[in-house]
Structure 1
């Protein structure tokens, strides 16, 4: 698995959960990172996943790409699965040039197809894994065969993300937004929308938890907001459960999405969700049963949805209980992992047939 980094993020977390649970009698996962950002490294090491740092720098550069080129020749992985935009670009180009047939492209965010130049690079992948049906449809629309795309929803560890006991349920009106500070998440709409929330719920608090390229801009918007006294910012956390436990609602104001992990984690913990109806979110959040949806870039609708959830305890409990049930029934880690394993085996088998080269059995097999 080729990643840009092991920073706190949804894709990194899902990669870690997947690699930790793969059947070790059939698969030997490794993480190769193009940059030296190690937030999740301790957890990966605890899971016994070998980590390869291709560069000592925090940003992708020539050194990391050169190291990737050399390592692909020296190691020749049986399967190469790049994750996020930069790895999907260079991993596929270098992988194909090195003759690795089992290259699996991934699209996990609403802007991934454009950022990864799928229109030009889609044919370099033997197969695509996406986490939301709109991404699959977009790939098909640009000519990718349907049989070379598999949609696998993110998984959530429902034994880890548990609802808090009644005595620990939140007593403050906290709205939590655990989201990367980037254009896709559209924090500006959220901050503007929260003004409508405070107008109806003066005690409401907005907690922004994240980091990213727009960190300074988001914090400036929060500091200049008329309701700035009700807004707090926090860095991302390896374990977000303490933040979830204090939240009466979780919010996302995204303009583009795949299938956000934070929504599944919130649902697993029995927290209602208010979000925008983009990407794979409508496939997860069921309006009036597990949360509320609104169009993107509509501050008033988002803010009023938040005020409604905060102002009705019975509604919050009903949404939360149904959300927990839905997470357990439809988004288990076990299902996510087994489906990935099936794709890996199918792509590897097809690659063996095409190239005549099959992986050597590993020790103990």
Structure 2
């Protein structure tokens, strides 16, 4: 049994995001395995709470209207002070913090302290800026750099994000291990008897440049010309990646021929249960991201036995084997992107077989039991190495 802490300022219900959902699921699974768990994070309020077996300590952050550079430093200093107190009082073995936003920038445990700091690369502000060829915020780079440098051990959710972290921070950005994110393959699963729509292309994710929305829209006219029944459903929030910070969805829709627009349905964000149904109904799912640390949506779709078309950064040499568990396609190649989606729509039995093999691969590599076990084993290795020292 280990005593494990997580630094997470998105832990539900506070500002729930991808890192918050990941931490919630992992923390509860570890608790089921008998480990004791603490979650410490910045919040809009001070609170000591329990989420079932999870102990939560929320620390009030500076109000947004008062948030200056100085307050950003103070927030992280208060967070590190409280986390050190909890680590000492509760005799924690490890504390894990995301590199994103650098909230563990001022964690300095004395060498005699048993608790070790792990940093997990989910995809920081600096890495995403590098993917876009931009410099990014100097303050974010400073905080994220200090978080990475302070860590005793480093985990990356994909080889792709580790590569950009190393490019941004040098040799200190090298991860000790790559452990992917996970999906609950009992929840995300095909349902016997559910019939797929052979004309439906599903895009799930933020309508943004990072998610490859412009590349998808560039491929649609060819699809619509060749398949008169094909239509697209967009699930996820809009972004302000359009010209001058405007709506990207409105910009992309405006560039399409008017006859194609009625074949695109924008649903916005939907509940998790509805997402599962959509994965099971789609003729194919497309994830043409150009910047992504780990696309959990693609893994969820594969777990539901959907045929997927993904970009190389999502495949990452692990998630998708081209032609076996999905198709890998450079999103900049609009002709190939449209051909892959058209082929899947027009060859539904082959797409079904592709989807079944995709689910097998997810169960083998990304299922909750598999990935939780990998995390447990790595935590234990870190603790044992420290005891050996």
Does the pair score TM above 0.5? Answer: yes
Q: Give the TM-score taking structure 1 as reference length.
A: 0.80
- Once the two structures are TM-superposed, the CA of residue 321 in structure 1 deviates from its matched residue by 1.4
For residues 154 and 229 of structure 2, what CA distance do their matches in structure 1 show?
Answer: 46
CA 1:84–1:123: 2 relative to 1, 3 Å: closer
- Partner residue in 1 for 2:96: 81
Provide the residue aligned with 2:149 in structure 1. Answer: 123
Whether 1:304 and 2:339 are equivalent positions in the alignment is yes
Query: 2: distance between equivalents of 1:238 and 1:84?
Result: 27
For 1:105-120, list aligned pairs within 5 A.
105-109=119-123, 113=127, 117=141
Quote the residue 1:272 is aligned against.
307
Matches within 5 A, 1:250-329: 250-278=285-313, 280-329=315-364
For 1:214, the equivalent position in structure 2 comes to 240
The reply on whether 1:171 has 2:205 as its aligned counterpart is no
Aligned to 1:3: 8
Alignment of 1:192 onto 2:231: no
Give the CA deviation at 1:180.
3.1
Deviations 1:258-299 (A, max 9, x none): 332112111111101011112544421121122211113233
Matched, 1:230 2:238: no
Question: Quick one: distance in 1 between partners of 2:300 and 2:333?
Answer: 25
User: 1:89-168 counterparts in 2 under 5 A?
Assistant: 89-91=102-104, 93-96=105-108, 102-109=116-123, 113=127, 117=141, 122-137=148-163, 142-144=170-172, 149-166=176-193, 168=194
Q: Distance in 2 between matches of 1:202 and 1:317?
A: 22
Change (3 A) 1:194 1:157: same
Is the contact made by 1:156 and 1:332 (CA closer than 8 Å) also made in structure 2? yes
Residues 187-238 of structure 1, C-alpha deviations (whole Å, 9 max, x = no match): 1111222222222223222222223753762321343133221222321533
Secondary structure of the residue aligned to 2:310 is strand
Pairwise CA distance, 1:114:
5.7
RMSD: 3.4
* TM-score, normalising length: structure 2: 0.75
* Structure 1 residue 164 displacement after superposition: 2.1
Instruction: Look up the SS of the partner of 1:71 in the other structure.
Output: helix
Taking the aligned partners of 1:329 and 1:351, their CA distance within structure 2 comes to: 31
Deviations 1:149-185 (A, max 9, x none): 111122222111111222x222352222221344421
1:71 corresponds to 2:82? yes
Whichever structure has more strand as a proportion of its residues is 2
Q: CA deviation at 1:309?
A: 1.0
> How far apart are 1:130 and its partner, in Å?
0.9
CA distance in structure 2 between the aligned counterparts of 1:84 and 1:120, rounded to whole angstroms: 9
Name whichever of 216-225 and 263-272 sits farther off: 216-225
